[in-house]
């Protein structure tokens, strides 16, 4: 069976490095039909769970790069379906900042940006997260970490009457008045748990895991 371009129906192509074909006539790029059987899919899922990079998976499994990227995207989309639309019970909320270290930036950027502070006031990208004690995490990129930015997200993602654990950051002040049981730990006083199960250690552990993965280029973080 001759392969034809899906657009112009001609059969003259260039083969690209990612396994796709490029039509010499209309220049459209397309993939050859490739059947993914169950054993092969299981291998890909196993590599994905182990957080192996795309290049490592390609070394171990005979599949085109383009097809592999399509499958990995579908796996990530499937994972988001496992996160409940609204959290309830005991949840943890916290914010963090993602971005490269200042020492790794170019000299021109260092001069332009000045001294990079840690936490509030940093030039890095703020991210807000909510963790349910059952192990599910919801995270979103935010423009700022003030109450006007974070509290609407909490009201949208956490049902009223739930217990919300946070640190002492001012953005969480007033949650009790909005129908939540608010429990906080004061990190400024080296308090990380009140001994009654109120802490945000689970979410902080997730942030550390996320940053380690990004630093080592183990996986791509898709934060919606």
pLDDT tens-digit readout, 151-197: 999 999 999 999 999 999 999 999 999 999 999 888 877 888 877 88
Q: Which residues contact 195 (CB under 8 A, 6 or more apart)?
A: none
Helix (H) or strand (E) holding 208: helix 201-215
Task: Indicate the burial class of 15 (C-beta count within 10 angstroms; 0-12, 13-18, 19 or more).
Answer: exposed
Report the 10 Å Cβ neighbour count for 31.
14
Residue pLDDT, tens place only, 24-71 = 888 888 776 667 788 999 999 999 988 888 889 999 998 888 888 889
The pLDDT confidence band at residue 90, using thresholds 50, 70 and 90, is very high
CA–CA separation, 94 and 88 (whole Å): 16
Phi, psi values for residue 110, rounded to 5°? -65, -45
| Whether this model's pTM surpasses 0.85 | no
Q: For residue 6, which of 39, 37, 29, 40 has the smallest C-alpha distance?
A: 29
Beta strands in 42-186 (DSSP E): 90-98, 125-132, 137-141, 163-166, 181-184
Confidence band of 224 (pLDDT split at 50, 70, 90): very low
């Amino acid at each position: 069976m001759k392969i034809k371009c899906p657009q112009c129906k001609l059969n003259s192509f260039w083969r690209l490095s990612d396994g796709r074909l490029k039509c010499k006539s209309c220049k459209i790029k397309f993939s050859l039909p490739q059947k993914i059987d169950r054993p092969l899919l299981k291998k890909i899922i196993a590599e994905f769970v182990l957080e192996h990079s795309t290049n490592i998976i390609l070394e171990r499994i005979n599949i085109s790069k383009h097809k592999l990227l399509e499958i990995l995207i579908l796996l990530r989309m499937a994972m988001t379906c496992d996160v409940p639309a609204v959290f309830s019970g005991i949840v943890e909320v916290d914010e963090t900042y993602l971005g490269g270290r200042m020492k790794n930036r170019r000299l021109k950027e260092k001069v332009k940006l000045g001294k990079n502070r840690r936490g509030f006031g940093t030039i890095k990208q703020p991210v807000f997260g909510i963790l349910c004690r059952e192990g599910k995490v919801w995270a979103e990129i935010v423009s700022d970490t003030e109450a006007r930015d974070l509290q609407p997200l909490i009201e949208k993602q956490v049902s009223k009457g739930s217990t919300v654990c946070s640190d002492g950051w001012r953005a969480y002040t007033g949650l009790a008045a909005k129908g939540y049981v608010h429990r906080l730990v004061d990190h400024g006083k080296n308090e990380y748990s009140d001994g009654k199960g109120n802490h945000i250690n689970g979410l902080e552990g997730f942030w550390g895991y996320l940053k380690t993965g990004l630093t080592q280029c183990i996986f791509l973080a898709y934060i919606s």
